Amino acid sequence: MDYSRFERLTIGLGSVAVLATTVFSLYPTPDAIELVAQLLLLAVLVGAVRWGRRGGTFTAVAATVAYILMRIDYVAATNFPPQFTRLLLIRAGSYALVGIGVGEACSRIKYMFARAKDDLAIDPSSRVYTADFMTRLLRTSVASYLRYGAPFSVIVLDIDASFTSNLSPAKAEEVVRTIAGHLRSELRLVDDVGRLHDGSFVLLLPQTGRAAAEGATARLLSGLRDSIGIADTAVRGQTFGSLDDLAEIEALIAESTVQG
């Protein structure tokens, strides 16, 4: 089974489960707001399965805010009724559990499926795609663009070797794995992350124009600085869009192939 089929199966089964609990909540006295709140759980599930932990977290927060707004009469009260506090904790907790938990699990499952199909698809150090597997994905994207006009963008993040050169091999590998995990968590599940032969990370963003990819590059660079502690001078980011930079993308593919 590939991830796309798993995605459809998970959303389908999740929809059945949510709708079933929604039907049960009609008895003995239906509450329209609680029915909508239960259906919001489905939106959170879709966000987590389709866009990973980042998308799941965003939809979980949005669903929680929507629930508070639907219960604005309780919020406006002088004292929060105990019933509202209990309901809010239940709803916020369930949204967070599905959004963050399922999103993180799906992110890991996607790479597990790749490893099951190809033992050499995952780099053991970083636990993202290998250079060879990523090169194949890039070639496929180029072919789809030339044949169907499906746009995509590529981000290359080159981290200076000095960031890990003074560390032991085990610690350096741990840092690389932390960087890779951060990159995966900041992207959609449809996006792919790999590590090239020279140690740089390459990110493939399907259905994404260069302008949006440049925004993603800036966000990733900021995250590497703030969350991982990499200085601005130690990391460089390049962004390529299929519309304007196809020659550069093909050169990147050729260079990776030669290095392999």
Q: Which CATH number is 253's domain given? A: 3.30.70.270
Provide the 10 A C-beta neighbour count for residue 223. 16
Residues 6+ apart with CB under 8 A from 260: 131, 132, 135, 197
Domain end call among 117, 146, 175: 117
Which residues on neighbouring strands pair with residue 122, listed in sequence order?
A: 129
- Work out how many domains the chain is built from and give that number: 2
Residue 255 is assigned to a structural domain of this protein: yes
pLDDT in tens, the chain (260 residues): 566 777 888 888 888 888 888 777 666 677 888 889 888 999 999 988 888 888 889 999 999 999 989 888 776 666 667 777 888 888 999 999 999 888 888 877 877 777 666 667 888 888 899 999 999 999 999 999 999 999 999 999 999 888 888 888 888 889 899 999 889 888 888 899 999 888 899 999 999 999 999 999 999 999 998 888 888 888 999 999 999 999 999 999 998 887 76
136 and 233 fall within a common domain: yes
Same domain, 61 and 136: no
**Same-domain check for residues 101 and 140:** no
Do residue 60 and residue 99 come from a single domain? yes
Choose the final residue of a domain: 57, 82, 117.
117
DSSP category for residue 129: B
User: Other CB atoms closer than 10 Å to residue 149's CB: what's the count?
Assistant: 9
Q: How crowded is residue 83: how many other Cβ atoms within 10 Å of its Cβ? A: 9
- Residues in contact with 33: Cβ distance below 8 Å, sequence separation at least 6, in sequence order: 70, 71
Domain that includes residue 13, residue range: 3-117
Based on the fold, state whether residues 182 and 74 are members of the same structural domain.
no
Judge whether 17 lies within some domain: yes
Give how far the C-alpha of residue 198 lies from the chain's centroid of Cα atoms, to the nearest Å.
24
Q: Is residue 233 part of a domain?
A: yes
Its pTM stands at 0.75
User: Has residue 50 been placed in a domain?
Assistant: yes
Q: Same domain for 171 and 217? A: yes
223 in the same domain as 103: no
Residue 126 lies in a domain: no
Does 19 fall in a domain? yes
Evaluate whether residue 207 is within a structural domain. Answer: yes
H-type helices in the chain, by residue range? 3-24, 32-70, 72-75, 82-96, 103-117, 131-148, 169-185, 210-223, 246-259
Based on the fold, state whether residues 165 and 227 are members of the same structural domain: yes
Are 235 and 137 found together in one domain? Answer: yes
Q: Are 154 and 204 in contact (CB under 8 A)?
A: yes
At 59, which amino acid appears?
A: T
**CB-based burial, 104-125: b 16+ in 10 Å, e otherwise:** bbbbebbbebbeeeeeebbbeb
Domain boundary among 72, 89, 117: 117
